[in-house]
Amino acid sequence: MHITSSRKPSAGTRTLCKHLASFFGFEYFNRGKMSMGEVLTLSHGNPLLIIGEYHGNPGSLAFYDGKGFCTLSIYISVLEAPSEYPKRSKSFPLIDGDNELVPLLNDLIVPDESTCSTLLSLTISGNQLDFKEGEKELFSLRMKSYKVFEVDEECC
């Protein structure tokens, strides 16, 4: 999966992009003035996560599939800003919690054949996303709302 930001991101948005890329093991690239089409071309058919902004702060997480369709959009606010980068791991973080988004995020982020790390975890409880390394909380996001988009396979 690749991760990038909206055009002209603030320093806080760039920082969140880099922390999420490090946490999930995604490849991060600077968008610059690229159009959405150029961003999708650069991702080479891989899933894509775009961090959007709202009033100069990170405001949304938009997940796109390999064909360029938005499958999930989460509107967020940063509760606890990232202070240090998590340890990079070849395995994916464990995603768990009591929210209905847990299986969807597992499908989007963790490939079927991959193993999950016991060190890194994303816990979704209520409207809060907690990113942890062991027992240490790295940063938290508050989920304001989300929308799941159904992709019609017949149109592709």
For the stretch 42-72, pLDDT in tens is: 888 888 999 999 999 999 999 998 888 999 9
Q: How many domains does the chain have?
A: 1
The residue assigned the tokens 């959405």 is 36
Beta strand segments in 45-135, E: 48-54, 57-64, 70-80, 92-97, 116-125, 128-133
Q: Is residue 62 part of a domain?
A: yes
Check if the beta carbon of residue 46 is closer than 8 Å to that of residue 26.
Answer: no
Tell me how far CA of residue 89 lies from CA of 5, 24, 101, in angstroms.
Answer: 23, 8, 23
- Relative to beta strand 128-133, strand 57-64 is unpaired
Amino acid letter for position 108: L
Q: Is residue 155 part of a domain?
A: no
Q: Is residue 19 part of a domain?
A: yes
Q: Is residue 97 part of a domain?
A: yes
Domain of residue 45, residue span: 2-150
Across 40-49, 68-77, 90-99, 101-110, which has the greatest mean pLDDT? 68-77
**Per-residue pLDDT, 66:** 84
Complete DSSP assignment for 9-34 = --HHHHHHHHHHHHHHTPEE---TT-
pLDDT at 28 over 50: yes
Distance of CA 61 to the CA centre of its chain: 6
Q: Is residue 43 part of a domain?
A: yes
Amino acid letter for position 66: G
The residue assigned the tokens 């799941």 is 148
Q: Is residue 156 part of a domain?
A: no
CATH number, domain containing residue 92:
3.40.50.10480
Of 53, 57, 51, 54, nearest in space to 1 by CA? 51
pLDDT at 18 over 60: yes
Taking the whole predicted model, whether its pTM rises above 0.75 is answered as yes
